[in-house]
Chain A
Amino acid sequence: MVEAENVSMKYNRCAQYALEDVTFSIGRGEFVFIVGSSGAGKSTLLKLIIREIKPTAGVMKVFGKDISRLPRRRLPDLRRSIGMVFQDFRLIDDRTASENVAFALMVTGASRRDIRKRVPHVLGLVGLQEKTKERVCDLSGGEQQRVGLARALVNRPSIIIADEPTGNLDPGTALDIMNLLRSINLRGTTVLVATHNREIVDQFKKRVIYLDQGKLIGDERKGIYTHVR
């Protein structure tokens, strides 16, 4: 699903590489944590996967295709196949939970009937069936992240990418969100989570890719947060 072949990324005006010679492969249906301290290159890696940026060197493949060569007009198709979840939720505050989710369907040209059917269903999946008409600014942090998850899910993506999805949440709510991600993964969706939440990584015992100062320093099946060299 996602393959990085000797990928390096250096931002303009920065002396150091944000990512340096990173190689890994993630298969269909995997659940992968990408861990590392701030500045390790986690967010850069996720940005490369959704082609927000292009690698300075190396090849980044998603669904078997080198996405650096993807024409700009094909980017929407790529992004509709990848659901994104953010630490700061990135919801449109003055719209309801339903409107935020429906928005992701509208951009694909879905029919009104389809939108009316799928939005309540996906909000139900994340446990927000009672809050569909509430504006997101009136929801709690955990509920807002559920809306973010519902939005990421509504287009039935093959991959869910979550960048610090529990960063703004209390431990209990963070665990709820991670359980939701696990249940999504159990239905066959590949899930990539960038995090530095030690407790959750250790508790889930999933594959862990370790980054440190832009370098991949470890890749373990059923890993724990602290990488032992």
Chain B
Amino acid sequence: MFVSGLGYVISETFKGLYRNRWMCITSTGVVVVTLLMLGLFMLVSLNIGHITETVKEQVEIVVYIEDQADQEAVNELYKRLSEHSQVEEVTYVSSEEHMRRLQRQLGGMLEGYDSALDNPLLASYEIKTVVPESVVELAKEFETYPAVSTVFYGQGYVENLFAVTGVLQYVGLALMLGLAVTAIFLISHTIKLTVMMRRKEITIMKYVGASNWFIRWPFLMEGLLMGLVGAVVPLVIIYYLYQYSIEWVAGNNLYFLSLLPAEPVIRELAKYLVPLGTGLGVIGSTFSIGRFLRV
């Protein structure tokens, strides 16, 4: 029976990992720690993004209708608003509904007040926009429409909210990129070190007439396995940590912290961490081994 190519690669991969187990454990440990840090940061980033999106989604424009506007003008206003390309949803809120909301907010303070006889509150349209950031511009536009009394969108607060979320997004992205570059640097150098430790073995293989691919394959497979384990272990750790965090947030009634569900988040992280780990393992091995193959 001939020593088959695949059989050789698989057997040499596992033999290589076993013979150099301490170096491999150390290298895999570096990959685990680096990708764990990156994964945790991505997790926090994803959740900050989710929370800011949730807050942004609550931003809406309230268009108050003129008291004297006739029904035709009100219908025309509804038509213009609902057909606007930037508007996602238009909800009519009558002056009676506004009064009921106010009574709910103020509790007993309006007890005995007969709103049916004297209701100073204006009816309105509550508008959700397609893009939350466009509320300022749209509010200005809606002010010019006929039958509009005033437009409210949380002036002052909304601008600050968007400024803060914008900065958060950029800072998060910059930090994530920085961490990703650090991870790439650390992992590729660790893999390089693992290969360097075995340069004597590679040189001997060359002297006895091994082809470059014969030498390369087991190293590539080792790099792939180290990268894979180095990516899967952090994902498992993150999954359990995150599950615990979700339960803790729910247990402490911190409902304003609307965290993303665990499974989709882990799937999202796996999309980045697994290719990053395995890719760096393979690429790191390929580049590191290249210089020793030029014998």
Interface residues of A (CB under 8 A from B): 50, 52, 72-73, 75-80, 84, 90-92, 94, 103-104, 106-113, 115, 151, 155
Does A50 contact B207, Cβ atoms closer than 8 Å?
yes
- Name the one of B8, B201, B212 contacting A92, with C-beta atoms under 8 angstroms: B201
Does A111 contact B1, Cβ atoms closer than 8 Å?
yes
Say if the beta carbon of B204 comes within 8 Å of chain A: yes
Write out the residue numbers on chain B whose beta carbons fall within 8 Å of the beta carbon of A90: 200, 203-204, 207
A74 to B258, CA, bound (A): 63
Write out the residue numbers on chain A whose beta carbons fall within 8 Å of the beta carbon of B207: 50, 79, 84, 90
Write out the residue numbers on chain B whose beta carbons fall within 8 Å of the beta carbon of A79: 206-209
A52 to B2, CA, bound (A): 30
Smallest CB separation, B219 vs chain A (Å): 14
Smallest CB separation, A150 vs chain B (Å): 12
Say if the beta carbon of B101 comes within 8 Å of chain A: no
A108 to B2, CA, bound (A): 11
- Among residues of A, the one whose C-beta sits closest to the C-beta of B295 is A52
Say if the beta carbon of B3 comes within 8 Å of chain A: yes
Interface SS of chain B: helix
Interface core residue of B1, B205, B207 (most chain A CB under 10 Å):
B207
- Counting chain B residues whose Cβ lies within 8 A of the other chain, the interface size class is 10 to 19
- Among residues of B, the one whose C-beta sits closest to the C-beta of A104 is B208
- Name the one of A94, A103, A106, A112 contacting B1, with C-beta atoms under 8 angstroms: A112
Contact (A107, B209) CB under 8 Å given A52-B295, A92-B201, A94-B19 = yes
A225 to B3, CA, bound (A): 46
Does A107 contact B214, Cβ atoms closer than 8 Å?
yes
Smallest CB separation, A172 vs chain B (Å): 27
Write out the residue numbers on chain A whose beta carbons fall within 8 Å of the beta carbon of B200: 90, 92
Smallest CB separation, A86 vs chain B (Å): 8
Does A76 contact B211, Cβ atoms closer than 8 Å?
yes
- Name the one of A72, A92, A112, A155 contacting B209, with C-beta atoms under 8 angstroms: A155
